[in-house]
């Protein structure tokens, strides 16, 4: 609860300062509207811009169950430094595990017209077990990432990658990545395979991702760069991952096929509807680190008030951390936000209705030693509502778990949490 209170107070003070004085007073930017717009746009994307280097705010301060406080610096060079060559990286320190983590990467643009970049990186960091991401996903930044506060299962991940980013056509972006990873779970875990037990392992992987934006509008700017000038929905992403045993000392044969579809409708009455479908299937020798979870966000505490925290953006609020893992799964989420209630010019709370569903399965569950979890084969359902932007970006949410995985105690099926939504 103490870490949540600290985060809550920090963001209240941040919003008070920003609302009272504005960004320009504290960062000494010019009052020209173009400069201010440029600054706010970068800040909204999680960067503090300077002439040659944009500092990445994602690494400034975080908290999780393994590292406790995690702090550091990161960033990327700007177009003023070079339009065709970039250097990026970060360095962070975890106070509980007393370990330094870092990453360094470079990128070189070989074609402006097709936005083709060749990239290389080396990363020594932690990764949440069961998490996955798409190579073509655009950068996503939140001032406050609530799930991070309560994640407990991480694995150490030393990864070397070489990748190529390429715009096949204006509406289809692609990226291919070749990577070598050394993986060490930070928790007690053994993966049993062919009478051998693996506590650490090595993977050599190839990933190919495609993102299709059929209704977006793209245009080249005065520099010849292709820009998405109108974001259209739906958007579709597909990604294939393959690891071959014996190639560059890889320990396992495995493959994964992941798919995501996102659609948003802006209604004439200023309400909004969002639909998100995520699905994945894996085959071969899949250790726990590379299984799927459904982004749970419920703390393993006894009462609803001890589980009180902050709701995520797309997470299952009543699903307990590490409760389910799958080697094949599908999740569907529906959100409908009503038109904001205009109480005053500055006070416009918004009511959002939410329903989520997940189904999955896992084969050979006996291979995973040291941790207990369930399968999602019966289908998991939760629904609820949010009342957002009540005070300094904070609101309230209530979610209820029902269906096949309904729990005997009524309050174990409930999640009461804060929400946090801040728009610059």
**What is the DSSP annotation of 13-24?**
HHHHHHHHH-HH
CA-closest candidate to residue 36, choices 20, 22, 53, 15 = 22
Mean pLDDT of 325-347: 93
pLDDT at residue 350 is higher than 90: yes
Given a contact cutoff of 8 angstroms between Cβ atoms, the answer to whether 400 and 317 are in contact is no
- Region of residue 364 (phi > 0: left; psi between -120 and 50: alpha; otherwise: beta): left
318, with CB counted inside 10 A (0-12, 13-18, 19+), is buried
Question: What 3-state DSSP class applies to 253?
Answer: coil
CA-closest candidate to residue 166, choices 231, 233, 92, 113 = 113
CA distance 128 to 183: 12
Which residue carries 């990226």 as its tokens?
175
249, with CB counted inside 10 A (0-12, 13-18, 19+), is exposed
Burial state string for 88-98 with b = 16 or more CB within 10 A and e = fewer than 16? bbbebebeebe
To the nearest whole number, what is the mean pLDDT of the chain? 87
91-122 confidence digits (pLDDT tens) = 999 999 999 999 999 999 999 889 899 999 99
- 277: tokens are 């479908």
Q: Is the peptide bond before 2 cis (omega within 30 degrees of 0)?
A: no
Question: What 3-state DSSP class applies to 34?
Answer: helix
- Strands 316-320 and 296-298 turn out to be parallel
Given a contact cutoff of 8 angstroms between Cβ atoms, the answer to whether 356 and 376 are in contact is no
Mean pLDDT of 109-137: 93
Given a contact cutoff of 8 angstroms between Cβ atoms, the answer to whether 417 and 317 are in contact is yes
Structural domains of the chain, with CATH: 112-420 (2.40.160)
pLDDT at residue 4 is higher than 60: no
171-216 confidence digits (pLDDT tens) = 999 999 999 999 999 999 999 998 899 999 999 999 999 999 999 9
Given a contact cutoff of 8 angstroms between Cβ atoms, the answer to whether 318 and 417 are in contact is no
Q: How confident is the model at residue 45 (pLDDT cuts 50, 70, 90)?
A: confident
Choice between 199 and 138, residue whose per-residue pLDDT is larger: 199
Which residue carries 């177009």 as its tokens?
79
Choice between 146 and 85, residue whose per-residue pLDDT is larger: 85
- Distance from CA of residue 335 to its chain's centroid? 18
Distances (CA, A) of 272 to 236, 337, 340, 346, 387: 19, 5, 10, 20, 14
H helix count then E strand count, the chain = 3, 25
pLDDT at 20: 39
pLDDT more than 70, % of the chain: 87
């Amino acid at each position: 609860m103490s870490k949540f209170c600290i985060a809550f107070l920090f963001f209240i003070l941040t919003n008070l300062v920003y609302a009272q004085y504005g960004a320009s007073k504290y960062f000494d930017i010019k009052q020209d509207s173009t400069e201010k717009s440029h600054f706010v746009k970068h800040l909204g994307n999680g960067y503090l811009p300077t002439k040659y280097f944009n500092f990445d705010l994602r690494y400034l301060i975080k908290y999780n169950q393994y590292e406790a406080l995690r702090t550091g610096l990161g960033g990327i060079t700007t177009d003023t430094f070079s339009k065709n060559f970039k250097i990026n990286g970060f360095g962070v320190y975890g106070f509980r595990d007393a370990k330094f983590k870092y990453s360094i990467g470079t990128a070189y643009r070989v074609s402006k017209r097709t936005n083709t970049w060749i990239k290389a990186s080396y990363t020594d960091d932690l990764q949440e077990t069961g998490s996955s991401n798409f190579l073509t996903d655009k950068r996503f930044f939140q001032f406050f990432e609530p799930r991070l506060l309560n994640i407990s299962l991480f694995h150490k991940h030393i990864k070397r990658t070489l990748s190529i980013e390429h715009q096949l056509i204006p509406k289809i972006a692609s990226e291919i990545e070749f990577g070598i990873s050394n993986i060490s779970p930070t928790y007690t875990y053994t993966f049993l395979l062919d009478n051998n037990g693996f506590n650490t392992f090595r993977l050599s992987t190839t990933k190919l991702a495609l993102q299709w934006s059929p209704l977006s509008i793209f245009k080249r700017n005065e520099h010849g760069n292709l820009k998405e000038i109108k974001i259209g929905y739906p958007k579709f992403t597909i990604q294939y991952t393959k690891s071959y045993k014996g190639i560059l000392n890889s320990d396992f044969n495995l493959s994964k096929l992941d798919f995501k579809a996102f659609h948003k409708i802006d209604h004439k009455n200023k309400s909004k509807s969002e639909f998100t479908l995520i699905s994945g299937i894996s085959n071969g020798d899949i250790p726990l680190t590379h299984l799927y979870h459904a982004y749970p966000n419920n703390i393993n505490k006894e009462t609803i008030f001890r589980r009180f925290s902050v709701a995520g953006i797309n997470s299952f609020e009543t699903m307990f951390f590490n409760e389910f893992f799958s080697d094949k799964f599908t999740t569907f989420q529906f959100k409908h936000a009503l038109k904001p209630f205009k109480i005053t010019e500055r006070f416009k709370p918004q009511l959002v209705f939410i329903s989520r569903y997940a189904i999955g399965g896992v084969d050979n569950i006996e291979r995973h030693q040291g941790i207990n979890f369930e399968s999602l084969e019966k289908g998991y359902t939760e629904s609820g509502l949010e009342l957002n932007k009540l005070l300094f970006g904070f609101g309230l949410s209530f979610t209820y778990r029902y269906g096949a995985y309904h729990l005997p105690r009524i309050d174990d099926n409930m999640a009461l949490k804060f929400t946090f939504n801040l728009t610059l």
